[in-house]
Structure 1
Amino acid sequence: MRRTFHYVPYTLVQDLYAAPEYEAGCVSGDQVDCGATSGSHSDPAPVEEWQRLHTQETGHLRYRRTFTDYAVMEPPGGLTDGSGQAQVQRVTA
């Protein structure tokens, strides 16, 4: 028995149904990082504003920023079964 599997050119795309998250943490400090954090937000603006205010209050200048999102492997058109699941096509000869 011989099996032939065909390459399917999936595309990696951002999941539009899940909001990305932005966050920053203060890593200023001589011996130990400050450790203050902005908390998680769905928009970068509040995180940037938190950084500005934290710098004004403390003089701290160094931050670690994090961006998190969800990704989906999207098959080419016509290869889904309607539920969002890809149809696996296998050819046997």
Structure 2
Amino acid sequence: MVRNQRKYTDEFKNTIVELYNSGKSLAELSSEYGISKSTINGWIKNSRPVVIDEGKVVIMKEYKALKQETVRIKEKNEILKKAMAIFAKQ
């Protein structure tokens, strides 16, 4: 069962994260905008910077997407390797 789930724009999420970073507490943001603390906490977590190389920084959301893409590419490579082995036998 899905309760009343609202969709928030990326712009709105970024605004809430910026307000948090500027000093507003989770409790203040939650009561002011009617958003649960856990939802806001997730947005904050996803916007945290992750250092991947010297001088290269991405946010957690981008990092997770890159990891998922890497897994998909590895799976495709395994499938292609198996297909090449089958065609090489013919």
TM-score range, shorter chain: under 0.3
Larger radius of gyration: 1
Q: Which has a greater percent of helix?
A: 2
Q: Flag the structure with more relative contact order, 1 or 2, with Cα contacts below 8 A and sequence separation at least 6.
A: 1
- The alignment's TM-score, normalised by the length of structure 2, stands at 0.27
